[in-house]
Structure 1
Amino acid sequence: MKTNIYLTLFFLSMFFLSCKKTETFESVNPNASKEAKELLAYLYSIRGKKIISGQHNYPHELLRSTDSIQAMTGKLPALWGTDISSMSDKLVEEAIRQHKKGAIITLMYHQVKPFDHDSLGYAGSVKGMVTDEQWEQIITPGSEYYKMLLHKIDQRAEVLKKLRDANIPVLWRPYHEMNGMWFWYGNRPGKKGVQFLWKMMYDRYTNHHKLNNLIWVWNANGPRDRENDEAYAYHLFYPGNEYVDVLAADIYRNDYKQSHHDELVELGEGKLIALGEIGQVPSPEIIEQQPEWAWFMIWARFPWTHNDREDVQKLYNSERVLTLDEIQ
């Protein structure tokens, strides 16, 4: 009798573990497009079994880094990424072309400070903190800085609408590395910090602009304690599961701590996690030890500036890694 009870408990525990492993979450946008829902479902279907290969490209060289992966490995990354700061028509055209080839599209936005001109760019305005007084104005609806912020957000919405109208789902990751101390919106924890910006953009894009093709990727930096280069705990900056589809981490300097992976899994309570940006590629052993990553995306030019060709080839030859010809 005892044996039968133990066997029953064993099989029940295996059943519940299996259910937990295959658990999926609906899009946080109740009006998500069919294509966005299908992409999210696909990502859940491979969770824990495969990882999608990805490559970022600078907006002024939309294929250079992706082409470098093909030259190095003979394979194309399954995910194509870039930055919509420039709002160029060529960027939209390339995203559409990549989608038609079967690639997954991920876009980010290096947003300059609300009160600065876009021409100042990354070094001139994205980097560098704002004062507490400036921050208070930025998050105060109706203030001049808030209106400036909204204007920049609305401009990029017009770019994203072109992809929406082409039925292209987008892995959308704004305000990345917000737990660091290098971007103007960085190291602003709590509800009146970057969580406010995230929720405001989510509401604006979802309810006002009807950007139902977006999958919302909350993308922190892997926490670290380096003097003058700190990145703080994920949870301090997390807006909540009702606003996030995928939780991601940026990993540079080959800092693939198990905690970077495990803490995201815990914070998301079962939601997908991903490697939003990486510098040095992980070894096949690391992606075996950290199986929940849904994709990785190497930063532009980093395949050859920060990696050995052999390491890139090893990663792309891993049985866990999916390339363009292998997805869906």
Structure 2
Amino acid sequence: MRDRTHRTGPPALRRALALFGAMALALVLAPTAPAQAFPASTRAQLVSFLNGISGQNMLSGQHNREPNSDPTKYTRVAQSITGQTPGLWGGDFLFDSADVNARQTMVNEAIRQWQGGSVVALTWHMCPPTMGSTCNWDNNIKSHLTDAQWNELVTNGSGLNNAYKNRLAEALPYLRQLQSAGVPVLFRPVHEMNEGWSWWGGRPGANGSRKLYQITYDYFTGQGLNNLVWVWNVKDVNMGSIADYWPGASYVDVASLDIWVKLEPSQSDYQAMLNIAGGKPIALAEVGRVPSPTIMNAQPRWAWWMVWAEWLTDPAYNNNAAVQASYFHSRVFNRGEFSIGGGGGGGSRTGAITGVGSGRCVDVPSSNSTNGTQLQIWTCNGTGAQSWTVGTDGTIRALGKCLDVNGGINADGTKVQLWDCTANNANQQWTYNATTRRLTNPVTGKCLDATGQGTADGTKLQVWTCNTQTNQQWTLPA
């Protein structure tokens, strides 16, 4: 986050229609009617969706900072500029008394946003556990705990540790409301942990800021919350040291970056995030400048970007033409252009590919997204390594990569692997026959096959001359 002392159809046709709508919106500043609402959904469905769009599409997003009594203030600004509703709505539990008292209003809006067709992302600028539930920015959020206080904070059962968990408990009723309403949440605690502007950040190592993130994860999951998509977050400083803040893959669903030191993410920033994520989705959780079409083309794995509040109209960062160009870029999903809960984005379907007997799924071994990883079958477990998006472009994707025939070789036994998705790559094209249940790669004319008609965990996948054996029979996501 920036310091609060800063001032507070076809593309051409689509743009024309939306800008016509923008003129009306500028007059009434009212949310547009959703083109497609989301049903009650799960964390797993949202994670699967993010995995499925990785490398293809990204969500437009807008944060709504103070006041919580008006939680669409900046979303309405985005609508007035573009005629579109962002694909992602951002909210914040915040810290001053007026905003804390309006948290219910903010959470009610989060439910409306999801039901209207926008993904929900929540942040929390939290008062330190050394004081009460409300506080101010300069003296409290931007304060610093002593080393002794920090050590107490991360020691289970200590006074400050219990005080921190009691602070987390303040959000518990609201997060449970979202869970009951079927709203999965992109939850980003202890954000920008690699910089020390906040009381929670700037402490590397096992007992540093990442430990506080782990405590937060363990507390909320221990309370039975299963609707939170855990978004780990750093800022674009000292990117070579972000591993000092990584809490471990089991604590992270999405790795995200905030861009404030620079106007746009550099290619090295992008690569650093891909490296740390290890195949998990990555995102731009906060930006001042809307990512340009050039950036989105060069860095296609960002799953979303979220503009921070009033920076949308700050002339040092954005102008209306640039904002419109980003919202109308071919990679970008705005509200109404994707679905979650009934499948994947843009008409695609996301979920497990099952076959070769009961309870067996097509699986990426150890979630290893390295090019050339040979795929296998494994007991179905609901992880991202078994979440496949069957696209309308003929590809089948997981962990941001494509199901690929090694070298396009048509010999029986050629391995089926994970590989970077590339446009018009015939090795990555698949057709499905619902009657025979076979997946065929048209360029080789061969079918996806479990080696040796095996059914055991770890049986490798290959292409083979199509036949009627059960080791070539698969069921795709609904």
Common fold by TM > 0.5 = yes
Partner Cα distance (1:265, 1:195) in 2? 19
Give the structure with higher Rg (CA). Answer: 2
What residue in structure 2 maps to residue 16 of structure 1? none
What residue in structure 1 maps to residue 144 of structure 2? 129
What residue in structure 2 maps to residue 100 of structure 1? 115
State the 1:71 CA deviation: 0.5
Q: 2:312 aligns with which of 268, 281, 303?
A: 303
2:243 matches 1:235 = yes
Partner Cα distance (2:201, 2:50) in 1? 29
Q: Is the 8 A contact 2:124 2:189 kept in 1?
A: yes
Q: Greater CA deviation, 87-96 or 64-73?
A: 87-96
Partner Cα distance (1:136, 1:163) in 2? 33
2:79 matches 1:70 = yes
Evaluate the alpha carbon distance shift between residue 131 and residue 255 of structure 1 in structure 2; reply closer, same or farther with a 3 A threshold.
farther
What residue in structure 2 maps to residue 160 of structure 1? 175
What residue in structure 2 maps to residue 175 of structure 1? 190
Write out the 4+ residue segments of structure 1 that deviate beyond 3 Å after TM superposition: none
State the 1:255 CA deviation: 3.7
Q: Deviations over 1:288-319 (max 9, x none)?
A: 11111000000011111242111111111111
What residue in structure 2 maps to residue 284 of structure 1? 293
Q: 2:254 aligns with which of 246, 254, 258?
A: 246
Q: Is the 8 A contact 1:217 1:246 kept in 2?
A: yes
2:236 matches 1:222 = yes
What residue in structure 1 maps to residue 464 of structure 2? none
What residue in structure 1 maps to residue 90 of structure 2? 81
Partner Cα distance (1:309, 1:34) in 2? 34
What residue in structure 2 maps to residue 55 of structure 1? 62
Q: Is the 8 A contact 2:193 2:202 kept in 1?
A: yes
Residue type of the alignment partner of 1:52: L
Partner Cα distance (1:97, 1:124) in 2? 34
Partner Cα distance (2:185, 2:114) in 1? 10
2:333 matches 1:325 = no
2:324 matches 1:313 = yes
State the 1:223 CA deviation: 2.3
What residue in structure 2 maps to residue 265 of structure 1? 274
Q: Is the 8 A contact 1:281 1:315 kept in 2?
A: yes
State the 1:100 CA deviation: 1.2
Structure having the higher helix fraction is 1
Residue type of the alignment partner of 1:211: L
Q: Deviations over 1:167-189 (max 9, x none)?
A: 11000000000001201111111
Contiguous gaps of at least 5 residues in structure 2 = 1-39, 95-99, 340-478
Give the paired residue count: 289
Q: Is the 8 A contact 2:41 2:183 kept in 1?
A: no
Residue 219 of structure 1 aligns to a residue in which SS? strand
Q: Greater CA deviation, 147-156 or 290-299?
A: 147-156
State the 1:270 CA deviation: 0.7
Residue type of the alignment partner of 1:212: N
Q: Is the 8 A contact 1:247 1:264 kept in 2?
A: yes
State the 1:128 CA deviation: 2.6
Partner Cα distance (2:114, 2:302) in 1? 22
What residue in structure 1 maps to residue 413 of structure 2? none
Partner Cα distance (2:320, 2:133) in 1? 36
State the 1:44 CA deviation: 1.2
Residue type of the alignment partner of 1:262: Q
Contiguous gaps of at least 5 residues in structure 1 = 1-32, 225-230
Evaluate the alpha carbon distance shift between residue 248 and residue 303 of structure 1 in structure 2; reply closer, same or farther with a 3 A threshold.
same
State the 1:119 CA deviation: 2.2
Q: Deviations over 1:200-259 (max 9, x none)?
A: 11111112x1110000000111124xxxxxx77211101010110000000124042111
Q: Greater CA deviation, 272-281 or 194-203?
A: 194-203
Residue 326 of structure 1 aligns to a residue in which SS? coil
Identity of aligned residues (%): 36
Residue 218 of structure 1 aligns to a residue in which SS? strand
State the 1:47 CA deviation: 0.9
Residue 137 of structure 1 aligns to a residue in which SS? helix
Residue 183 of structure 2 aligns to a residue in which SS? coil
Residue 192 of structure 1 aligns to a residue in which SS? coil
| Larger RCO (CA within 8 A; separation ≥ 6) | 1
Partner Cα distance (1:275, 1:98) in 2? 20
Partner Cα distance (2:133, 2:240) in 1? 28
2:47 matches 1:40 = yes
State the 1:93 CA deviation: 1.0
Q: Is the 8 A contact 2:61 2:86 kept in 1?
A: yes
Q: Deviations over 1:56-112 (max 9, x none)?
A: 002413111101011101111010011023262111111111111011001011111
* Alignment TM-score, normalising by the size of structure 2: 0.59
Residue type of the alignment partner of 1:112: C
Residue 217 of structure 2 aligns to a residue in which SS? helix
Residue type of the alignment partner of 2:230: W
Residue type of the alignment partner of 2:337: E
State the 1:142 CA deviation: 2.3
Residue type of the alignment partner of 1:37: A
1:193-208 to structure 2, matched below 5 A, reads 193-207=208-222
Q: Is the 8 A contact 1:171 1:214 kept in 2?
A: yes
